[in-house]
Amino acid sequence: MTETPQANQLAFSDLGLSPKVLSTIEKMGYETPSPIQAETIPHLVAGRDVVGLAQTGTGKTAAFALPALTHMAADHEAGDLGFLPNTLVLAPTRELAIQVAEAFSSYAAQLSGISVLPIYGGAPYGPQLQGLRRGANVIVGTPGRVIDHMSKGSLDLSEVKHLILDEADEMLRMGFAEEVDKILAQTPDTKQVALFSATMPKAIRRISEDYLNDPIEVSVKNKTTTSANTRQRYVFIKHHAKPEALVRILETEPHEAAIVFVRTRSATEEVAHKLTARGFRATAINGDIPQNLREKTVESLKDGRIDLLVATDVAARGLDVDRISHVFNYDIPLDTESYVHRIGRTGRAGRSGEAILFVTPRERRMLRSIEKATRQTVEQMNLPTVADVNASRLDRFSERITQTLATEDLEDYRDLVTSYVNEHNTPAEDVAAALVAVVHDGRPLLLDEKAEDDLARAASQSFEREDRGASRDRGPRDAGARAPRQKGSPSVAGPGNAMYKIAVGRQAGVAPGHIVGAIANEAGLSAREIGSIDIRPTHSLVELPETLTKDQWAALSKTRIGGELIRLERDSGSHGASSGGKRFDTGKKRSGFDTDRPAKKAAKKPRWRDR
């Protein structure tokens, strides 16, 4: 393993990327490479094979896309960029395939003529075939569908120069080992291979040994630091609801000054603007702002002319202001070390500090990594409700009145009110109420109860996911993941479901993960739609929705597991209850866990080919 200690200090311009790629990421507002980018990009640009231990949320997509695009830009300039696919990315699910394809396209924005095509199971072949006929330089696909197109002759990978395995451990867990092997074996020996995986099980090491050429292995070291003075909390929140969530917390948490950390330059401006519009004294600082101006901003924060600084990591490096009572990780950092740096901005000079982290549903794993790296539990916090916000607004309002009464000379104003009351024969309470409205300039003092619904929804959906997701991370039995049932228990479908038979069973080495992976990917079913699985010697019974669409039937009629067509059919129920089957039950049907990804942890001990 190589560990590059200075990698964190590298700039994007130090990594050997092409000028157009550099200018694109500059425009996207990325300031510095994340650790996985700093450590892998130079090797990938130099043509080395790389094994990168990194999970989603660390910036790994750019880590493999930017070098491939740099090579493609050079080929394009030399007139060597052919019609056939140059880069193939394999991803475990169609959601990831789409996401990676979108990211790849945005990184290629300034490279004219480079096209990216996602191909995945569960979608009709027509548009994909058209796309392939038109030609694409980058294909991002799920292994099953890639194999399908290869065998149909619609995907020619003979000129592939870069092959990337994204979330490799996930692909194997989903039963794609054979497909991955086949694709690696049937693409040119000269290709560069980059393998990204969150974990390094034996099967991944085997792939690396078999198919990668003297790879550099990179893992991002998790520094462990604790900050005793700082309480750490997190909130689950959807991306779009973050501004409202931040404002609510700021309205209800007593704070002196705060830093709000975001990921890009443009986000610093956007968020600062939103906060200013809501009456907070906020300023953006980022790497684009000249040093002397940044220093002035920090001075303003120190002396209380502003209270909130919206910053990127670079801009806030080394910031030392005692007043900072809160650090908001508005965007979760790309690595745990940045988290530690960020929260180190509070709890200074012996004071206590508060660190609040916003976590979107996709970022749950990063939260766990942060807990591991800091060796501290980050407490979950609930978002303040409309009632909390209103109570705090009323408190502040009455405090302002009390303070004004105590400190201001009100003699002239009192005369003014008295003469109004006498002249108009209006009660003093009404006059006071009208003055409150004047002070608020037409804006209501209190939040409307209806506002509750939107934000609560944005947070609670994520909570539900977490609750269910967390149980998925435990062992198969208590996870409700497909835990073996007693031999001979009958396979009965729940309401709205039916039992289906597929023509692959234990003798073909099938595990539940293979079945879930294949069916979910090919038919586009979500994990919650796949119920119990009953693996028998020569066939298996699977609980699926009672009604499948025509497209789903069509997709499943072509689906293979371990090379065998699954021949899906409705189960007639004539198999007997005790034919030596092993029954697995997800529990997902009951919990209604709604993920578009096929059940990741379904097969706790996946069986792929041992070599």
Q: DSSP states of 502-569 as a string?
A: ES--GGGT--HHHHHHHHHHHH---GGG---EEE-SS-EEEEEES---HHHHHHHHT-EETTEE---E
SS3 465: helix
Nearest-approach distance from CB 195 to ligand AMP, in angstroms: 15
Nearest-approach distance from CB 111 to ligand AMP, in angstroms: 18
Nearest-approach distance from CB 362 to ligand AMP, in angstroms: 8
Nearer to ligand AMP, 104 or 500 (CB): 104
Q: How many C-beta atoms lie closer than 10 Å to residue 514's C-beta?
A: 29
Kindly give the pairing relationship between strand 50-53 and strand 216-219.
Answer: parallel
Nearest-approach distance from CB 372 to ligand AMP, in angstroms: 18
Nearer to ligand AMP, 111 or 306 (CB): 111
Enter the tokens of residue 554.
């069509």
Nearest-approach distance from CB 113 to ligand AMP, in angstroms: 23
**Closest-CA residue to 526 (of 608, 604, 602):** 602
Which H helix or E strand runs over 407? helix 386-407
**Closest-CA residue to 179 (of 517, 525, 552):** 517
Nearer to ligand AMP, 363 or 571 (CB): 363
Nearer to ligand AMP, 36 or 147 (CB): 36
User: Cα(523)–Cα(435) distance, rounded to whole angstroms?
Assistant: 63
Enter the tokens of residue 420.
């109004």
Nearest-approach distance from CB 60 to ligand AMP, in angstroms: 5
Q: Per 3-state DSSP, what percentage of the chain is helix, strand, and coil (rounded to 5)?
A: 45, 15, 40
**Closest-CA residue to 57 (of 363, 294, 397):** 363
Nearest-approach distance from CB 404 to ligand AMP, in angstroms: 46
Output DSSP code: residue 574. Answer: -
Nearest-approach distance from CB 408 to ligand AMP, in angstroms: 48
Nearest-approach distance from CB 363 to ligand AMP, in angstroms: 9
As to burial, measured by CB atoms within 10 angstroms (0-12 exposed, 13-18 middle, 19+ buried), residue 303 is: exposed
Enter the tokens of residue 376.
């501290």
Nearest-approach distance from CB 221 to ligand AMP, in angstroms: 17
> Is 526 within 8 Å of 520 (Cβ atoms)?
yes
As to burial, measured by CB atoms within 10 angstroms (0-12 exposed, 13-18 middle, 19+ buried), residue 546 is: middle
Nearer to ligand AMP, 106 or 229 (CB): 106
**Closest-CA residue to 49 (of 189, 198, 183):** 189
Nearer to ligand AMP, 362 or 560 (CB): 362
Nearer to ligand AMP, 56 or 497 (CB): 56
> Is 1 within 8 Å of 218 (Cβ atoms)?
yes
Kindly give the pairing relationship between strand 564-565 and strand 560-561.
Answer: antiparallel
**Closest-CA residue to 583 (of 481, 437, 514):** 481
Nearest-approach distance from CB 170 to ligand AMP, in angstroms: 13
Nearer to ligand AMP, 20 or 604 (CB): 20
| CA distances (Å), origin 253, targets 42, 135, 429 | 44, 55, 31
Strand-pair partners of 234: 357, 380
User: Cα(359)–Cα(149) distance, rounded to whole angstroms?
Assistant: 38
Scanning the structure block, which residue is given the tokens 């200018």? Answer: 23
Nearest-approach distance from CB 312 to ligand AMP, in angstroms: 8
Nearest-approach distance from CB 233 to ligand AMP, in angstroms: 22
User: Cα(420)–Cα(424) distance, rounded to whole angstroms?
Assistant: 6
Rg (CA), the chain: 29
Nearer to ligand AMP, 225 or 264 (CB): 264
Nearer to ligand AMP, 129 or 200 (CB): 200
Scanning the structure block, which residue is given the tokens 């919990």? Answer: 591
Nearer to ligand AMP, 76 or 263 (CB): 263
Q: How many C-beta atoms lie closer than 10 Å to residue 286's C-beta?
A: 23
CA–CA–CA angle 189, 44, 206 (5° rounding): 55
Nearest-approach distance from CB 334 to ligand AMP, in angstroms: 6
Enter the tokens of residue 118.
């996602």
Nearest-approach distance from CB 327 to ligand AMP, in angstroms: 18
Nearer to ligand AMP, 258 or 334 (CB): 334
Enter the tokens of residue 107.
């990184």
Q: Which residues bind ligand AMP (CB under 6 A)?
A: 30, 33-34, 37, 56-62, 263-264, 334
Nearer to ligand AMP, 286 or 540 (CB): 286
Nearer to ligand AMP, 61 or 87 (CB): 61
Nearer to ligand AMP, 59 or 67 (CB): 59
**Helix (H) and strand (E) counts in the chain:** 22, 22
